[in-house]
Structure 1
Amino acid sequence: DDLEEIDRIVIEDIQPLILAETFEALDGAEASVDVATLAVFILIALGAVVGGGTALIVARQIVNPIVRLTNVAVELGKGNLGARASAETNDEIGTLANSFNQMGAARQRAENQRVALIAELAAQNAELAQLDELKDNFLSSVSHELRTPLTAIKGSAEILLDEDGVTEEVQNQFLTIINVESDRLTRLINDVLDLARYEADQEIWNDQPNPMSDIVGSAVAGIQSLAIQKHLDVSVSLDSDLSDVWCDQDKINQVLTNLLSNAIKFTSNAVRSRYLLRSHLPLVAPAVTPPSRSGSPITELG
C-alpha cells in the first residue's frame, strides 16, 4: 500500500512539477540563445564599422609607408643612389626608413669613391703613357744620335786606311775627329744610363758659356768624313769677336750635327758650301756653289 501511495504521489504530484520546471528552463534557454544571437549580430555590425576605420588606419600607417619603402628600394636597385625614404614616425616603419636612407647614403659614398678612384687611375694611366712616349722618343733620338758619331769615326778610319799618301796633317785631322766623336759617344751612352731622369722629366742641362767657334767647329768637324765620302767640301768662316753662347754644348752640337748630316745625306751633286758667321750682322743664307771647272776660288758672300 505504501508503495502504491508513493507511485501515485510521484505520478500525480511530483512529475508535473518536474515537467513544468523543465519547460520553464527550456524557455529560458531559448531566450538566452536569442539574446546571444542578437549580441553576435551587434558585435559583427560594430566590427564592420570599427573594422573599416581600422583598415584606414592600417593602410595609412603601415601599408602606405611600406609601399614607399618598396619604391625607394626599386630606385636604389636602378642606380638612383639619391633616392631617400621619408621617416614620418618613430616606430618600426620609421626605423626601417632610416635604415634604407643610411644604406643609400653608404652606397652613394662608395660610388663617389669608386668614381674618384677610376679618375685617379685614368690620370695615372695617362701619365704612364706619356712617360712611355717620352722613353720611346728618347730611345729613338739616342739611336739616331749614336749613328752620327759612329759614321764620323768609321768614315775617318776608312779614309786613313784607304787613302794613299795621306799627309801627317790630314792624319792628325781625322784622328782628332775620331777622338772627339769617341768622347761624344761616351756622353751619349751616359745619357742612355740616365734614362730614369728622362722618364721622370728631370733632364739635366749642363748650361755654361761656350765659344761659338768651338760649337760650330765641333759640329763641322763631326761631319767632315761624311762630306768627303760624298765629295763635298764644307768650310766655315767665323769672326774672331763672336760672343760666347750660354748653352749645353753637347745638345747644341747634336742639333747642328743633325742638320749638317741631313744636308749632306740629301745632297746628290758635288758642291762646296761656305758658312759665314759674323757678329752684329743679319743672318745670311749659306752659299751653295757648284765647283768651277777651272778650280778658281769661290766668291765669298757679304
Structure 2
Amino acid sequence: MRPFVYERARSADEALALHDGETHYLGGGTNLVDLMRLGVETPAKLVDVTRLPYDRIEESGGGLLIGAAVRNSDLAADRTVRERCPVLAEAILAGASGQIRNQATVGGNLLQRTRCSYFQDVAKPCNKREPGSGCPAREGEHHNLAILGHTPDCVATHPSDMAVALAALDASVRVQGESEVRSIRLDDFYRLPGDDPSRDTTLDPGDLITGVEVPPLGMASRYRKVRERASFAFALVSIAAALDVVDGTVRDCRVALGGVAHRPWRARRAEEMLRGAPATEESYLRAAQAEMDLAQPLRDNGFKVPLATNLIVRTLSELGDGS
C-alpha cells in the first residue's frame, strides 16, 4: 500500500480546504480501504469526514434528509424510514453483513466502485482503472456484468443496493463544492460509461457529499434481490419498485434495477407504459419486455434478460395485490 497522509476534518469547509488532486474523503472505508490494499486506489491523502455534523435523519418537506455520515445500520433501523420508504430499509439489509452496515456510511455507499474482477486486479487492463488500456471483460468473465447502457469501453455494473432504492425514490444528493452547495438528482449523479468509464459520477474534484434528500413517496414499495448465494452477495439482478393502484388502474409507479448497468437503471420505458394501464400481470409483462428490448447482453449474461423481466413482473404483481 502506498504511504498516505491522514487528516481529520472538523467542518465541511476544512475538508474542502484539505482536498487536493490526490485526496480521497474517508467515511466508513469499507470499500476504499479494500481498494487501497489491492493497489487500485492510491491516494496521497485521506481526509476523514465521519466527524462532520451529517449523522442525522431528519424530516424535510414531508420527505427525509439523510446525512452522509449516517451509518447504514442506523438508516435501515430508523422507524420513519421503515414506515415511509421500506424499499430503502430492505435494500440496505440486503446489501451487506451487519458488521459492514455498522461501519459503512450513506455517502460512502453511494461512491462504491464496481466489483468487476478486471477492475480489482491491477495486473489486468481495465479502462475504468486505467483509461485506454482496454476492457477484457467483454470477451472474458462477464456473466454478472452489464446488459444495459454499456459500451465497448466498459461493461461494469454498479454494486450499491441502496442507490437502486434511492433511484426509485427520486432522491437527490446534496453536495458542497468549493463555491456552492447544490442538489443533484440521482438520475444526474451517476454516469453511464460513455467513452470515459473511469468516472462513475458527475461530481467535480473535491466535491463533498453532505446528505441525501428523499421526497415523499406515497406508494407501496419493495426491494427484491436475486444473487448467487443466500447472503452478502452482489446482485445478479435487483429491483426497487413502488406502485400506486386506484380502481384496478396503475396511477403511478417507479421501477429501478440493479446489477444490470454501470449505474442504477431507472426503467423509464416500463414506467411510462404502466401509467394508466390495468394493474394486471399482462400489463407488467408487456412493460418489462419493452424495457428489456433495450438490453444488449453479452455472450454469457443473456440469462439476465428473462431474470429481470420475471423480477419486474413478480414484484409489481405482489405490490398490486397488496394495494
Greater relative contact order, per chain length (Cα 8 Å cut-off, separation 6+)? 2
Bin of the TM-score, shorter chain as denominator length: under 0.3
Of Structure 1 and Structure 2, which has the larger fraction of its residues in strand? 2
Max radius of gyration: which structure?
1
Of Structure 1 and Structure 2, which has the larger fraction of its residues in helix? 1
TM-score w.r.t. length of structure 1:
0.24
